[in-house]
Amino acid sequence: MALELTGKVALITGAASGIGRETARLFARQGAHIVAADRNLAPTEEIAAEIRKTGRNALALQVEISDEAQVQAMVERAVREMGGIDILVAAAAVPFANYGEGKGNRWLLVEQPLEDWRRVMTINLDGTFLTDRHVARAMIDADKGGRIINIASGAAIVASVRGGAYSVSKAGVWMLTKTLALELARYNITANAIAPGFIETPMTEHIRGHEPTATAVLNTIPMRRFGKPYDIAATALFLASEEGAYYTGQLMHPNGGVLIP
């Protein structure tokens, strides 16, 4: 399989780090031009500069995906400066409200402050919806088809204590993806989601950095290792390529076997 993206334009949110950053690198190596978007501009500009050194075009944009005006402006600028959007990888997300701040029962749903719940939902679900919607509109207007790839999570189908808001938000992303797949199929636009397991990204640093917790998690993974961002980027590459053209409404599971029944 060639898995080539030569000449395609890929918009990747959450491109400053982790899965989004690695996806931007991999897509560029396979021939795509990249619109890298993230709320943190400096590292987004770094990855765009890195990609430009390979001879691909790259545009770095600062965007808060929960703000529809910013999302619309992001898409309009991508279309204007890059000529359109062929592929979207919506990877921007937060694990919990105030990630890295505070511990204890505030993560239990019966104790969680409403503002924390709303922040997770606003970014993970609303933000993905807004990004998908505005990119889909641009793809429909261009009449060339397209690929929408949402980064969900294994947490979308397996509940966990202290991770309720995240799980619910990612379950929503999965249903959003399926609904879009039905609505957009007639435009030759596919919509798929990826449900990563435990991946070596900043989002899992609190797990990997605590040896007892890391060991307990590794014991649940048949392959006995954490995934790499490349594992998820490679799955996205397949879905974005011609080889993945007949996949839509699917949830892919690169997780080392953690969800084997």
- What token pair was written down for 176? 């959003």
How far, in Å, CA of 261 to CA of 257, rounded?
9
Per the CB < 8 A criterion, the answer to whether 214 and 207 are in contact is yes
Q: What is the chain's alpha carbon radius of gyration, rounded to the nearest angstrom?
A: 18
Find the catalytic residue in 99, 166, 187, 230: 166
Catalytic site includes residue 230: no
Considering only CA atoms, which of 20, 8, 44 is closest in space to residue 233? 20
How far, in Å, CA of 105 to CA of 156, rounded?
21
How far, in Å, CA of 125 to CA of 229, rounded?
21
HSE-CB at 60 with a 13 A cutoff on CA atoms is 17
φ and ψ of 65, to 5 deg: -70, -15
Is the dihedral angle over the CA atoms 28, 71, 235, 219 positive or is it negative? positive
HSE-CB at 152 with a 13 A cutoff on CA atoms is 31
Catalytic residues: 166
